[in-house]
Amino acid sequence: MTFENKTFIVTGAGGGMGKETVKLLLDNGANVVGCDLHTDNLLKYEDTNKFIAFQGDLLDEDTVKDIFKVTATQFGDIDGLVNIAGIAQSATPIDEVSLGEWHHIMDINMTMIFLTCREASVYMKGNKRGSIVNIGSVSVTRPRPGLQSYVASKGAVEAFSKALALELAPHQINVNVLHPGPSDTTMLGQFSAEGASVDDTRKEIFEKSVPLGSLLTPKNIADSIKYLLSDEAKMITGAVLHVDGGRNI
């Protein structure tokens, strides 16, 4: 199997893309530590000794340190980190966005990635290898009105990932960013002004915005994450991979 004896940390593991990524990595023989505020969905994987569900707030520095400590103790070297955790912004005109809301979105979508990457670098530098995949969003190149804070946070993820790719290259650590297009998870509905779940009409609007004609599935995203973590992507770093059915064009 592709990832036999490899160990990955996946954040946002309880969400749509996260769960699918955990499943795919486990199916390919990896050891996985899945972290999220909510891990109830992941408990069914607990019957394998290759998986740990870590429940906690990834904005807490000590929690992040614990996740890496537990992973190293249980499985040894850490081969990869996948940052999937994030939040949406419901479309809001800028003059109605409070400073608190702005900070909340920037903290969860960007500061959290800073914290996990900082910790990963400590372990991966020691091992002289590693792969980090940070999830951004196609909205960085194709924004929608009212999502200014979300788009800024994801633009920061792209810039940060490129800078870190250069910084960590001498240590043989790859850092890439993957920008998903509109994907069929509960988050999709959270971008609408009402904050309601995505009804069929709205789904259709999102689908029409994708040149290939359908929403992305969590499996589409997980497959590309798997590629970026694999040996086949060994010489890819600082890259921005759009997995969006052509939405960025």
Ligand X SMILES: NC(=O)c1ccc[n+]([C@@H]2O[C@H](COP(=O)([O-])OP(=O)(O)OC[C@H]3O[C@@H](n4cnc5c(N)ncnc54)[C@H](O)[C@@H]3O)[C@@H](O)[C@H]2O)c1
Active-site residue list = 150
Distance of alpha carbon 79 from alpha carbon 76, whole angstroms: 9
| One residue of 2, 28, 50, 59 binding ligand X per CB under 6 A | 59
* Number of residues binding to ligand X, judged by CB under 6 A: 26
Hey, which bits of the chain come out as E strands? Answer: 7-11, 31-36, 51-55, 80-83, 130-135, 173-180, 240-243
Asked whether position 37 contacts ligand X by CB under 6 A, the answer is: yes
Which residues have CB under 8 Å from 180's CB, separation 6+?
A: 17, 135, 136, 137, 138, 216, 221, 243, 244
Q: Within a 13 Å sphere around the CA of 126, how many CA atoms are in the beta-carbon half?
A: 8
Give the shortest CB-147-to-ligand X separation in angstroms: 11
Q: Which of 5, 27, 29, 38 binds ligand X (CB under 6 A)?
A: 38
Contact 131/177 with Cβ under 8 angstroms?
no
Which residue type does 192 have? S
Looking from the CA of 41 toward its CB, the CA atoms found within 13 Å total 16
Nearer Cβ to ligand X, position 18 or 80? Answer: 18
Residue 6: CB minimum distance to ligand X, A: 22
For 246, left (φ over 0), alpha (ψ -120 to 50), or beta? left
Cβ 170 to ligand X, closest distance in Å? 28
User: According to CB under 6 A, which one of 3, 7, 9, 14 is a site residue for ligand X?
Assistant: 14
* Span from 30-38, 70-78, 119-127, 230-238 in contact with ligand X (CB under 6 A): 30-38
Closest to ligand X by CB, 109 or 237: 109
Nearest C-alpha neighbor of 21 from the set 79, 83, 73: 83
CB 166 to ligand X: min, Å? 23
HSE, CB side, 13 Å, CA atoms: give it for residue 17: 32
Residues from 157 through 216 that contact ligand X (CB under 6 A): 180, 182-183, 185-188
Does residue 175 sit in helix, strand or coil? strand
The residue within the footprint of ligand X, chosen from 30, 32, 78, 84 (CB under 6 A), is 84
- Give 7 or 153: the residue with its C-beta nearer to ligand X: 153
Candidates 17, 222, 229, 243; binder of ligand X (CB under 6 A) is 17
Token output for 38: 């909510």
Q: Provide the minimum distance between the beta carbon of 165 and ligand X in the complex, in angstroms, as a whole number.
A: 19
Q: Which residues of the chain form contacts with ligand X (CB under 6 A)? A: 12, 14-18, 36-38, 57-59, 84-87, 108, 135, 137, 180, 182-183, 185-188
